[in-house]
Amino acid sequence: MKKDAYGHEQSLSFGQRSKLSIQEQRQSLPIYKLKKELIQAVHENQVLVVIGETGSSKTTRVTQYLVEARYKTKDTVIKYMTDGMLLREILIDDNISQYSVIMLDEAHERTIHTDVLFGLHKQLVKRRPDLRLIGTDTLLQTEPEGDILLFLTGQEEIDFACQFLHERMKGLGKNVPGLIILPVYSALPSEMQSRIFEPASPGERKVVVATIITEASLTIDGISYVIVPGFAKQNVYNPKQGLDSLVITPISQVSAKQRARPARGTGPRKCYRLYTDSAYRNEMYPTSIPEIHRINLGLTTLTMKAMGINDLLSFDSWIHLHPKLSFLPWNSCTI
């Protein structure tokens, strides 16, 4: 048995095991109820926006449904890649002729590569009427249920908070319910990160102290209380100094709502926001500042120049994709 930084014994785990068969698990997913409507929408629209909360299985199952509907052109029927890798593939083949469907996941995060890809695909769908383009977003809903999830800005703050909680719980003695303290950040070993999916024992409560990694990338079952200080670290380029730096900035109003969103299969959730209503309305941007406004554009400019895009000031990106843009909301199914 391995021990973590706080002396707790741990074993590798990936959450609760289901007793359902694979077919029964697939049919229990929220997306399954809309499978036929999804395939029909892709068939009738060249460009489609799919909206669904984290955990609805839109990322994994939409691609499989498309393969079953014979939207495939090569031996490798499904290929997952980062937005940066897709941008490099377009640099080699500007018509991306090997693909019949392109799915740009988590479009609301507005990375610089995603913004550029949307601009390129706006031109591409005109050249290739056989190509289907799907964008996905995270649906923001009101709060459901579980243990405790605390958002902090980075590794140093998380380690300090976990150590503080550990010492505080020791000082309270054995007459209080147990608290399982679980840090989560990208530099943490995978076996330690996986502990957040383990259910707490009867009479205990777990607290997950995390960075933005759990905002859109992970669904943790059993969360009932969310604590949001209202800050996050963002990569910002300073043109005067010629340096990139991580700056602690207020989160956006969209992020504030998303951090209190319900996870799939959980009940009501209460959110404690450590900022005032005035700060929310006056100090937070409605949406996160796109990465294209915050970072050094040198490499991206050279990449676009290599693609033959010379008039960068008139380059069109983001959501002006197609006059027949269609939306397929997931809020019509009960989750």
The predicted-structure confidence for 249-287, as pLDDT tens digits, reads as follows: 888 888 888 776 655 545 567 888 888 888 888 888 888
Q: Is there a contact between 124 and 96 (Cβ–Cβ < 8 Å)? A: yes
Residue 333 confidence class, pLDDT cut points 50, 70, 90: very low
Distance separating alpha carbons of residues 68 and 266, to the nearest angstrom: 30
pLDDT of residue 160: 92
Separation of alpha carbons 24 and 63, rounded Å? 19
Judge whether 228 and 151 are in contact, CB under 8 Å.
yes
Helix (H) or strand (E) holding 322: none
Strands annotated E in 27-114: 47-51, 101-104
Q: Does the pLDDT at position 328 exceed 60?
A: no
Please state, in angstroms and rounded to a whole number, the distance separating the CA atoms of residues 37 and 42.
9
Helices (H), the chain: 22-28, 35-44, 58-68, 83-92, 112-127, 155-172, 190-193, 213-216, 253-258, 277-282, 298-306
- Place 175 in a pLDDT band, splitting at 50, 70 and 90: low
Give the domain ranges of the chain: 2-15+143-293, 22-139+300-329
Q: What is the pLDDT of residues 83-119, one digit of tens each?
A: 889 889 888 888 888 888 888 887 777 788 888 888 8
Give the domain 22-139+300-329 fold: Rossmann fold (3.40.50)
Residue 198, both tokens: 């383990």
* Residue 126 three-state SS: helix
Widest CA span in the chain: 69
DSSP state of 31: G
CATH number of the 2-15+143-293 domain: 3.40.50.300
| Same fold flag, 2-15+143-293 and 22-139+300-329 | yes
**Average pLDDT of 209-221?**
71
Contacts of 170-174 with CB under 8 Å at 24 or more apart are none
Least confident stretch, 31-35, 181-185, 285-289, 316-320: 316-320
Contact partners, residue 19, CB within 8 Å, separation at least 6: none
User: Higher model confidence: residue 7 or residue 235?
Assistant: 235
Of 231 and 174, the structure prediction assigns the larger pLDDT to: 231
Reading the block at residue 91, the tokens are 């640099």
The mean pLDDT value for 43-58 works out to 79
CA 119 to CA 112: how far, in whole Å?
11
Please report, rounded to a whole number, the percentage of residues in the chain having pLDDT higher than 90: 3
Say what the pLDDT of residue 197 is.
84
- Average pLDDT (236-252) is 85
CA dihedral 50, 53, 55, 60 (to 10 degrees): 10
Directed axis angle between helix 298-306 and helix 83-92, to 10°?
30
Mean pLDDT of 236-247: 85
Backbone φ and ψ for 81, nearest 5 degrees, come out as -150, 165
For tokens 């988590």, the residue is: 106
Q: Say which DSSP state 76 is in.
A: S
